[in-house]
Amino acid sequence: MEQLSLFDQGLEAAKTAEVPSEITEEYTGLVKTLNYHAERYYNEDAPEISDYEYDMMNNRLKELERSYPSIVSPDSPSLRVGWKANKGQKVKHNVPMLSLQDVFSKEEVDEFVRSMREDLGEDTEFLVETKIDGLSMALRYDNGLLVTAITRGDGITEGEDVTANAIEISDVVTKLSDPIEYLEIRGEVYMTREAFAKVNEDAVARGEKTFANPRNCAAGTLRQLDTEVTRDRNLSLFIFNIQQTRGREFTTHSEGYEYLRSNGIKTIELYYRCKTEEEVWDAIQKIGDKRGELPYDIDGAVVKLNDIKARERLGNTIKFPRWSVAYKYPPEEKETKLLDIEVNTGRTGRVTPVAIFEPITLCGTTVSRATLHNQDFIDELGIGIGDTLIVYKSGEIIPKVKGVNKDRRPSDWEPYKLPQICPVCGHRLVRAEDAADLKCVNLNCPGTVVNGILNFVSRDAMNIKGMGYELVKALVDGGYVHDFADIFTLHTKRDELIENKVLGLAKNTDKLLAAIETSVREASAENLLSGLGIPNVGKATSRELLKHFKTIDAIAEASVEELTLVGDIGKVSAEGIADFFGDEGNRELIARLKASGLNFETSNVVTGDAFSGLTFVITGTLPTMTREEAAAFIEKNGGKVASSVSKKTSYLVMGENAGSKATKARDLGIPTLSEDDLIKLVEG
């Protein structure tokens, strides 16, 4: 038997060493958390944490895997390059679209450069260039003509075909002036800050949800089914690598850039050619200093070998090329004095404190405001007026408060406490159960009227089509609508609306009035109840309440004790419901809604007990049922429908394009059902 080296003996010992239970628990939690956030980032284009926060967790995961090799899980994000493609038509990768090894310190950068020079020689040349914060796309050209554009997908096997949308990007060249037999190039699709601001401005004008940052918007746009949306949003593209060629070879990366630029292809514009550790680090610092001057976001600097043959000799790991690393800049942070805390009442009555501080420049933009979220957040950081706050930019976009420099605290300092009454209407605020938010439950609060109405007429509530932000605001500003009930009296003001051109042409007015009439006829009691904006009462809770009480009138008359008899209704939620219906103004409004002919009684009568005692969660697009129809089917057969997956979930009913709920169900070992499986459970 071959004798193991001392290093290999140590490695074998590490593999077989017993792993402490607390390490196993921490590692398992990290794998689940990182996979959840990867799903949100890649497939749902809706990240919940910054790249920096993800990177810090990922570094800890890698540290545990290095220390305890036996702990490595098959679904560890360290073994994955990208994320599975799940929307468009799948295309096989000719060349893997790998990730880059992230480094976070000068020491790590120096070690990479030093190792390359020791292996390849002191004359080894590097390129240091901007790492654009966007999403990867590969373009394939046959004899100079663009034939396919694909996303990274899983990075190894396949991506999604996005050719139709790629053609709508002005930076994408569809025909090369100096063609070769075959060319595949890889780049980063991104949005300038100006283009991103325009998209969000248009979304606000239409009463639609805005995007969190340019990267999310670019990712969602590239995978749109409607190419006109891609054209309107003005995406951009930088090419950063030649993946594969036939008919011509390049000796260096910079030579490839010259060829691409001669064909009108836009390559990374900010880069430096370097040879020593000092030159590389200086280039990284120069790029970092220019972050604020660039019209787009970057999230790091890439250090790569210039020599193509050297790259080929070094090759790749399962996940990264060995010839390149990405230095990630830490979030920029500065200190500033807290001048005041502004308290706002938002769409659903949620009261949000906002820090107003002396203006500072972060990542090239001037900021003077940042949300403080809620009282728990304020208490945790120990914030008071006059404090010196430490503010940073999350993901280069959103200013956030990191902490307080208590050494600079004023002598007359006092901890800040949120008011207990609404800053707009003076009503008492209610704290939601199992949450830190305070809410105003007065439906007539001026701070919530427009946005409250938007929630009331939304698809998940009364579903009045055509009532977007601009229209609702015009009706409120014109004095036609003061509350929910006024919507159902607009038909009496038809002539006035047309004469004053509130909605434009007479045809538009009649179309809206018809949509309101349809809502009166078709909207269920569950839709009405969930649209009222009662704290903790969404669609699922509305169904549970009406299953128990049958009518909205009965819910309005129920005591706190009676309300807590409904499953998942705790004391705080029960008190919030009772407070809502106990308010005289709300009771008057409910009476007016009832007089308008709205449905106050549930039609979801239980007719079977096949699902008795079972809790279901529905996700994705089902073949024949809407989610509402599936929920009604489950409830009519004695089951319960919840909005989120937990250990209490019995089954996940899953359709196409299921997102993070499917991942969580898998992690918790919860069985999944198709629509057909669901029906068969009843039949069986």
Catalogue the active-site residues: 131
d(CA 87, CA 153): 10
DSSP 398-432: EEEEEEE-GGG--TT-------SB-TTT-PBEEEP
Cα distance from N-terminal residue to C-terminal residue, the chain = 60
Handedness of CA 404, 407, 408, 410 (dihedral sign): positive
Contact indicator for 48, 36 with CB cutoff of 8 Å: no
**3-state DSSP helix/strand/coil % of the chain, to nearest 5:** 40, 20, 40
* DSSP SS3 for 472: helix
Distance of CA 126 to the CA centre of its chain: 35
Q: What is the helix (H) or strand (E) element at residue 160, kind and residue range? A: strand 158-160
Burial class, 278, CB count within 10 angstroms (exposed 0-12 / middle 13-18 / buried 19+): exposed
d(CA 488, CA 486): 5
Amino acid letter, residue 131: K
Nearest to 643 by CA among 628, 624, 656: 628
d(CA 125, CA 116): 10
Contact indicator for 296, 190 with CB cutoff of 8 Å: yes
d(CA 515, CA 513): 5
- With the CA atoms of 202, 207, 213 and 215 taken in that order, what torsion angle do they form, in degrees rounded to the nearest 10? -70
Contact indicator for 504, 468 with CB cutoff of 8 Å: no
- With the CA atoms of 443, 449, 450 and 453 taken in that order, what torsion angle do they form, in degrees rounded to the nearest 10? 20
d(CA 234, CA 459): 29
Amino acid letter, residue 628: E
Residue with tokens 């009296």: 489
Nearest to 196 by CA among 211, 185, 181, 209: 211
